[in-house]
Structure 1
Amino acid sequence: MEARPLFPIPFVLHPAHMALDDVVSFCVAVLVAVLVNAEGQAFVATLLGDKRPGARDRLHFNAFLHLDLLGTLSFLATGMGWPKAVAVDTTKFKHPDLCLVITRAAGPFANFLMANIAGSLVWLLKSLSLDPRVFLMVVAVNLTVTVYHLVPLLPMATGTLISAILIPKGSRLEQSYGQLGPYLLFSLLLLDRLLRGEIVGHILAPFVRDLFTLLTT
């Protein structure tokens, strides 16, 4: 039997009807999503050769140090955001472009794994007749981050792939794409919300809902 969601999927804060438990659960879920995304990238970058002994920007497992101002604002305004960029030295990779794409893709993959773990905890809490709201929100937010990484703009993983394949290295276009990408992404997500998902939401949101149903029933 399909479980009825306790809140809209993907979840977006709405000033007209915000329950305190939903707001708290969402904030916790955002911190979890930011942490696993950034640390997933850092772990894979290290695994592929970009080792940084004692680096303070990696593998510290402090979600607050991974918060990006624009990415956090995007989470609050649109329900989807991103962590602070994980510094990567591509010169340490054997295959720089490929390894960079794999590193960036490790972020949403880590979010998907986190959603699966949280989904298992939802099942456990339900079996004990306990409220699984926080873990349901963790599932929802992490799946949202996973699926929306298909948007072909930086800092999304697909944006990194587009950059690696189509944009000449060291060009002004690459620099502009990297600098403007987050602002273009935020503008796109904000406009999508104002238009009730008519830009990317009608394509990506159903995938989030289907995966949410799969992991929480």
Structure 2
Amino acid sequence: MTVGFGSVPFIPDLFHHPAIDAIAVFVVSALLAIMINAEAQAFMAAILGDARPGAKDRFHFNAFLHLDILGSICFLVAGFGWPKPLAIDPGKFKYPRLYTLITRLAGPVANILLANIAASLTFGLRFFSIDPRVFLMVLVVNITVAIYNLIPLPPLAAWSFISIWLPGQAQGINKGLQISGSILIVAIFLSERITGVGIISPYLNPLVREMVRFIAGLPLQAS
């Protein structure tokens, strides 16, 4: 399926037929997705009790300060990524497990909200016969980030749901995945790009397309 600058999800082609305008808009959209994801987690953590007065590493609305190296690489190979993991102190939460989960889920929820805002702007631009492709890219990237957070590996949100239920004897696994999870995710999608064999994307890409179709209210053409 295609919409705006290209396929859904959008994965930049950096080597064969690079479209500079599409890549530029994708980079800006990815930075917006990273910033809103990280700031939403920080905001939710503060609301739920983990407030850190003067913590400049949380509230600065500077996407570049939220960049994670492997998360940024993943944007280039898979069309989605993640910000630098937010440091939270579950001990400051009234309900540590529940509030930790809510904090982590705030990121992808914020991406969906931003996608809806982009969709609204798209409707307005189309009404005035203005090309809405920039906001369509923002929509696609943010929905892709939100849906791919369903992958149950850290630092993605779905892992938070699993990790809070791990028994004490399994915490070693949790710590190991916290270190290697990002590497594993990048390796999986790099393998998909190199071999052309889908491992995870065939299951999540249809969800991305259907959500983009639903929110944008636009027909997506089969590519």
Which bracket does the TM-score occupy, shorter chain normalised? Answer: over 0.9
2:3 to 5, 14, 29: 5
Q: Distance in 1 between matches of 2:203 and 2:174?
A: 27
Q: Distance in 2 between matches of 1:170 and 1:45?
A: 25
Question: Contact 1:10–1:79 (CA<8 Å) still a contact in 2?
Answer: yes
Residue 191 and residue 50 in structure 1: after superposition, are their counterparts in 2 closer, same or farther (change >3 A)?
A: same
Cα deviation code 1:150-192 (max 9, x no counterpart): 1010011111111111252793222112111111111122223
Q: Distance in 2 between matches of 1:122 and 1:167?
A: 47
Count of residue pairs brought into register by the alignment: 215
Structure 2 counterpart of 1:32 = 32
Structure 1 counterpart of 2:90 = 90
Identify which range, 159-168 or 40-49, moves more after superposition: 159-168
Residue 39 and residue 20 in structure 1: after superposition, are their counterparts in 2 closer, same or farther (change >3 A)?
A: same
Cα deviation code 1:50-79 (max 9, x no counterpart): 001110111211111111111111111221
Residue 167 and residue 136 in structure 1: after superposition, are their counterparts in 2 closer, same or farther (change >3 A)?
A: farther
SS at match of 1:42: helix
Shift of 1:134: 1.2
Shift of 1:115: 0.4
Residue 40 and residue 197 in structure 1: after superposition, are their counterparts in 2 closer, same or farther (change >3 A)?
A: farther
1:107 lines up with 2:98 in the alignment: no
Q: Distance in 2 between matches of 1:187 and 1:195?
A: 12
Compute the TM-score of the two structures, normalised by the length of structure 2. Answer: 0.91
Question: Contact 1:25–1:133 (CA<8 Å) still a contact in 2?
Answer: no
- What amino acid does structure 1 have at the position aligned with 2:3? P
Structure 1 counterpart of 2:122 = 122
Shift of 1:197: 5.9
Percentage identity across paired residues of the two chains: 45
SS at match of 1:165: coil
Q: Distance in 2 between matches of 1:197 and 1:140?
A: 23
Shift of 1:120: 0.5
Q: Distance in 1 between matches of 2:191 and 2:33?
A: 23
Identify which range, 201-210 or 161-170, moves more after superposition: 161-170
Gap regions ≥5 residues in structure 2 = 219-223
Gap regions ≥5 residues in structure 1 = none
Structure 2 counterpart of 1:178 = 178
Shift of 1:210: 1.0
RMSD: 1.7
Residue 167 and residue 83 in structure 1: after superposition, are their counterparts in 2 closer, same or farther (change >3 A)?
A: farther
Q: Distance in 2 between matches of 1:67 and 1:197?
A: 28
Structure 1 counterpart of 2:194 = 194
Residue 98 and residue 27 in structure 1: after superposition, are their counterparts in 2 closer, same or farther (change >3 A)?
A: same
Identify which range, 90-99 or 193-202, moves more after superposition: 193-202
SS at match of 2:39: helix
Question: Contact 2:36–2:110 (CA<8 Å) still a contact in 1?
Answer: yes
Q: List structure 1 segments (4+ residues) > 4 angstroms apart after TM superposition.
A: none
Question: Contact 2:2–2:8 (CA<8 Å) still a contact in 1?
Answer: no
SS at match of 2:49: coil
Compute the TM-score of the two structures, normalised by the length of structure 1. Answer: 0.94
Structure 1 counterpart of 2:58 = 58
